[in-house]
Amino acid sequence: MKPDRTPALLGAILAAVVAGGLLLPQWTLFILTLACAQGLVVLGLVLLQRAGLVSFGQALFYCIGAYTAGGLSRAFGTGDLFVQMAAGAAAAALVAFVLGFLLARYRGIFFGLLSLALSMIFYGLIVKSEALGSTDGMNLVKTTLFGVRPDAAWVRYAMAVAAACVALGAAWLTHRYLRTPLGRLSPAIKDNEIRVEYMGASVRYAIHVNYVIAATLAGAGGALAATTVGHIDPEMAYWTTSGEFVFIAILSGTGSVIAPFLGALVFGAIHTVAYDVSPNTWQMSMGLALLAAIVFLPDGLWSLFAKRKTA
């Protein structure tokens, strides 16, 4: 058996963020924090992908997380990052638990489109809801950490470190989950459901659990994004947002729980550079980047590292 290097790697990354963050410019810390938020969502997608499912509607839970944070902010003036993330994750998990009874019955394109439809229904609801700010969305109160608002010069750094702690902690928990019997069931489900059922395991239950975990991660990610940007709007539930997450998932690959964060960071970097260089055609640059990833790295960015390991 190969030794499990993931926990050490996660620790090293966290140390790098804590130390390196001191040297990085503010705007890169912002990108890093957002990459943590998106990486959390994509981590959930990867979990579903392992069982052969692609969700084109993960923005539903991302947006639920964001609006939960927004609601806390508006109703109670709560700006604490950890409270918002916990509440966002819990709200998304609850919704996913209910929807899971329906979705766990479907596979392939039906699962994908049904998840897309649900996210668009939610989009439609918040666009029409004046209480939630309709198409304009709403602003959030300033973020605090354990009730303390960091000094302006340090706030980006403090948030990036806090976000990295949560994101890498979630990655570690997911990594542990993948090594449990239930977590290990996913590739078997992808390969041969009949065999899994006739061995005495419930495919639907396993998919339901994966779906709820994925939603929990997306909810936490949504709350983190909301409080980082300071503003939320219905676009967060729109299908293009879901598409972005699938984009990052393909870019990342399913090789490791770290891959989604790497993918999100690269995505953020390409996005920023492309927008900077050609503001009118940045989508084309993104498309070309995705094409290049599919052609040259069919197993995602992570395959770069996986190959080096075996060499």
Nearer to other proteins, 209 or 215 (CB): 209
Nearer to other proteins, 15 or 199 (CB): 199
Q: Please tell me the distance from the alpha carbon of residue 70 to that of residue 84, in angstroms, as a whole number.
A: 8
Q: Please tell me the distance from the alpha carbon of residue 189 to that of residue 201, in angstroms, as a whole number.
A: 10
Min dist. Cβ of residue 206 to other proteins (A): 8
List the one residue out of 43, 13, 44, 30 whose CA is nearest residue 269: 30
Nearer to other proteins, 107 or 149 (CB): 107
Site for other proteins in 175-194 (CB under 8 A): 176-177, 179-182, 184-185, 187-188, 191-192, 194
Give the binding-site size for other proteins (rule: CB under 8 A): 21
Nearer to other proteins, 11 or 124 (CB): 11
Min dist. Cβ of residue 270 to other proteins (A): 31
Strand partners, 80: 144
Min dist. Cβ of residue 56 to other proteins (A): 24
Site for other proteins in 95-154 (CB under 8 A): none
Exposed e or buried b for every residue in 265-294, given b needs 16+ CB within 10 A?
Answer: bbbbebbeebeeeeeeebeebbeebbeebe
Min dist. Cβ of residue 11 to other proteins (A): 16
Nearer to other proteins, 146 or 198 (CB): 198
Nearer to other proteins, 172 or 239 (CB): 172
Min dist. Cβ of residue 93 to other proteins (A): 16
Min dist. Cβ of residue 4 to other proteins (A): 10
Min dist. Cβ of residue 216 to other proteins (A): 15
Nearer to other proteins, 182 or 273 (CB): 182
Nearer to other proteins, 167 or 178 (CB): 178
Mask for 187-226, x = binds other proteins (CB under 8 A): xx--xx-xxxxxxxxx------------------------
How big is the CA angle at 81 (ends 142 and 211), to the nearest 5 degrees? 130
Q: How far is residue 163 from each of residues 123, 166, 168, 241, measured CA to CA in Å? A: 26, 5, 8, 20
Give yes or no for residue 306 binding other proteins (CB under 8 A).
Answer: no
Min dist. Cβ of residue 204 to other proteins (A): 10
Nearer to other proteins, 149 or 176 (CB): 176
List the one residue out of 83, 77, 73, 84 whose CA is nearest residue 132: 73
Q: Please tell me the distance from the alpha carbon of residue 14 to that of residue 164, in angstroms, as a whole number.
A: 7
Measured between its terminal Cα atoms, the distance across the chain in Å is: 17
Cβ neighbours around 132 below 10 Å, total: 19
Min dist. Cβ of residue 251 to other proteins (A): 22
Site for other proteins in 158-177 (CB under 8 A): 176-177
Which chain residues interact with other proteins by CB under 8 A?
Answer: 176-177, 179-182, 184-185, 187-188, 191-192, 194-202
